[in-house]
Amino acid sequence: MNEKTTQKCNRLVTLAPGEQITLTEAVQIGKVSAKKQIATSAVVGVLTAGTVLVSLKPAAFYLVLTNQRLFLIGNKRGLVGNVALVVPLDQVTVAEPLQGHALTLSMHVDIAGTQYRFSWGRAQAGMARKVAAAIPGGS
């Protein structure tokens, strides 16, 4: 992530006394099935006579981690959005460690009792490892 985007994300976070930002990174949350990708691509291809290509991706967010809380901030095509979620860090744990797939890296994170799939492209392996190491229970 570039410095300008990092600063914008950090400005949205209201810190409590003694709280410090430890990490700010981009993350995709969720999963798009292969069936859905193929079906959507086929419909768009037929309707546009193959002139438009479609790619579905999981929801993009910026993750800001402090020594006390986790923040998820909306990522609207690279622009910093609004704060979508704020959770105390004691309610966040890694449910499944970072795993490598053909084109992505992913891990399941338990946030307040709900599991979320965090994923990154292979080119973002360093970013993925930083996030995995920073979240409690990560490696």
User: DSSP of 48-101, one letter per residue?
Assistant: TTT-------PEEEEEEEESSEEEEEEEETTEEEEEEEEEEGGGEEEEEEEEE-
Check: pTM over 0.75? Answer yes or no.
Answer: yes
pLDDT, position 61: 93
As given in the structure block, the two tokens for residue 14 are: 């209201």
Backbone angles phi, psi at 103, to 5 degrees: -120, -5
Checking DSSP bridges between strand 92-100 and strand 79-88, what pairing results, if any?
unpaired
pLDDT, position 139: 60
The architecture (CATH level 2) of 3-12+22-134 comes to Roll (2.30)
* Cα 18 from Cα 35, distance rounded (Å): 47
> Which stretches of the chain are DSSP H helices?
3-12, 34-47, 125-134
Digit-coded pLDDT (tens) for 88-138: 999 998 888 888 888 889 999 999 889 999 999 888 999 999 998 988 876
- Greater model confidence, 1 or 123: 123
Is it the case that residue 1 has pLDDT exceeding 80? Answer: no
SS3 101: coil
* Cα 39 from Cα 60, distance rounded (Å): 22
Torsion, Cα of 121, 65, 32, 116 (10° steps): 130
Backbone angles phi, psi at 10, to 5 degrees: -65, -30
Q: What are the extents of the domains in the chain?
A: 3-12+22-134
pLDDT, position 54: 67
pLDDT, position 4: 93
- Greater model confidence, 96 or 61: 61
Digit-coded pLDDT (tens) for 119-129: 998 889 999 99
pLDDT, position 83: 94
